[in-house]
Amino acid sequence: MASIAAGYNKKGELFYIIRVSRGRGMKLATDRFYPTANGHRIRQESRKTDAMAFYYSKEFEDRVKKGALSPIEAGDTGIALPGEETLQQIGDKFMIEMDSLGYAGKTQANYKAILKKFVYPALGGYSPSHLTEPVCEDFLKGISSKYGENASKRARMVLCTTFDYEINAGQIEENPVERIKLKEAKFRARHRLKKREAETPKVYTMEQIEELGRVMQKQPLKWRVYYSILIETGIRRGECCALRWKNVDFDTGRLCIDQSCNYTPDKGIFFDSPKNGKTRIVLISPETIDLMKELRKSQEKCPSVFVFTRRNGSDVMSPNVATEYFHELEVKHSLSFHCSPHKFRHTFASLAATNNTSPVTLSALLGHTDQRASRRYTHPYTEAEEAAAKGVIELVERRFPLITKSEESLAKTLRINGKFFPDPQPAIGCIK
């Protein structure tokens, strides 16, 4: 007879822990069941959910009797053979060497969190000989059902990277996770991304930039400088926070971007090289230079090597502080658009692309190694589309001087603002 116990997770969702005996001296087989209704997890225990858990426990008990459980459901700890390392030992060794392998600090923190939260509790005691493809696939499916498809995708990425590390060390011959495909997770994640992109545009419009500029005029000097640098250069928020006064050339208006400021709960604030590992030079306007001179003068009482400091005036400012500040600005002034530091980067790239900046130059300005990465930062502006449409109109009029239709009528046949407006009448008159 299976034992059933109800509980609630951090999100307030109801679940049932089901335990079934596999015989004397053997570990209990356990499973977790989430009752659902209309595709959503139920948050209230009732007779109906108890009945659903009871029927699920019967199915689970039958699987236990037939021996159709996976090693994870059966509670197999996967004890390593003599001379073999467990996955947790492999992962800890990999984490120690990540810095020397060139992984960024935030990537190391993310990998460590995923290993501790998802991988070690379920597979940490397994040896490589136990970690076959079916075992790993069953583990990823369990992560997907309990924590979501994105969590399963991240766990797969970390597992795959960890096994590749062991392959390069010559400890194992093949990667059991490499052939596992998560097509459904990728599709749904991509669908949610497209929906989120449609709801929150990644660039500021010209009207929004003007409105935000008026708001920033009343803000403290430090934030006016921060805003001006972001919108004029398109650098990352961490690169802006890591600026030191020695990186500023007041005579030529140049900034040297040679490091980035990051934050993780384990390390706190730390510095790393830019994402592409290269130093680059960006330009700022004379007005921003004047503001930076005022900011440096205001730091005379509490000197600092950093341009942007915390309230104590000496320590460097965390990039998370900038994100929180712009969010508070959005709420305080009831702005009708989402406000974030990273959005300035997309805006800069889009304006540069509208100004006919070459892909090579744009990638260098943004600090991208691959030009394809810069394409994700460029978004069309309505003004640019209208200018392109008028340019086509002028070109057609010069080529065909006997056109009888007006410019407004012809414009209806052009793609403006992403929509096509069909004209029931001929857009171009007959040439006699």
The predicted structure's pLDDT at residue 392: 52
The predicted structure's pLDDT at residue 256: 93
In terms of C-beta density within 10 A (0-12 exposed, 13-18 middle, 19 or more buried), how is residue 177 classed? buried
Q: Tell which wins on pLDDT, 409 or 7.
A: 7
- Among 50-54, 71-75, 99-103, the range with the most confident prediction by mean pLDDT is 50-54
68 vs 91: CA distance, rounded Å: 29
Q: Tell which wins on pLDDT, 332 or 421.
A: 332
Using alpha carbons, list the distances in angstroms from residue 36 to 39, 49, 380: 6, 9, 42
Q: Say whether 300 sits in a helix, a strand or coil.
A: coil
Residue range 187-206, pLDDT digits in tens: 444 444 444 444 456 888 88
How would residue 377 be classed by pLDDT, with cut points 50, 70 and 90? low
245 vs 140: CA distance, rounded Å: 48
Q: Write phi, then psi, for 20 (nearest 5 degrees).
A: -135, 135
The mean pLDDT value of the chain amounts to 78
319 vs 241: CA distance, rounded Å: 6
347 vs 204: CA distance, rounded Å: 6
334 vs 157: CA distance, rounded Å: 40
Q: Tell which wins on pLDDT, 117 or 375.
A: 117
How would residue 185 be classed by pLDDT, with cut points 50, 70 and 90? very low
Q: Which residues contact 398 (CB under 8 A, 6 or more apart)?
A: none
Residue range 130-176, pLDDT digits in tens: 787 878 888 888 888 888 888 888 999 999 898 888 888 887 788 88
Residue range 22-37, pLDDT digits in tens: 777 666 777 888 888 8
395-399 long-range contacts (CB < 8 A, ≥24 apart) are 396/428
Q: Is the pLDDT of residue 399 over 80?
A: no
* Two structure tokens written together for 120: 């070690």
* Two structure tokens written together for 94: 């990999």
The predicted structure's pLDDT at residue 289: 93
48 vs 46: CA distance, rounded Å: 5
Q: Write phi, then psi, for 6 (nearest 5 degrees).
A: -90, 155
114 vs 160: CA distance, rounded Å: 13
379 vs 369: CA distance, rounded Å: 20
Using alpha carbons, list the distances in angstroms from residue 343 to 9, 208, 232, 388: 34, 12, 12, 25
Return the bridge partners of 41, or none.
Answer: 36
DSSP state of 83: T
The total number of residues shown for the chain amounts to 432
Handedness of CA 405, 408, 409, 415 (dihedral sign): positive
pTM over the 0.85 mark:
no
Closest C-alpha to 170, from 53, 76, 85:
85
Q: Is the pLDDT of residue 412 over 60?
A: no
Q: How many CB atoms lie within 10 A of CB 298?
A: 13
**CB 308, CB 222: distance < 8 Å:** yes
Q: Is the pLDDT of residue 401 over 60?
A: no
Residue range 222-263, pLDDT digits in tens: 999 999 999 999 899 999 999 999 999 999 999 999 999 988
How would residue 417 be classed by pLDDT, with cut points 50, 70 and 90? very low
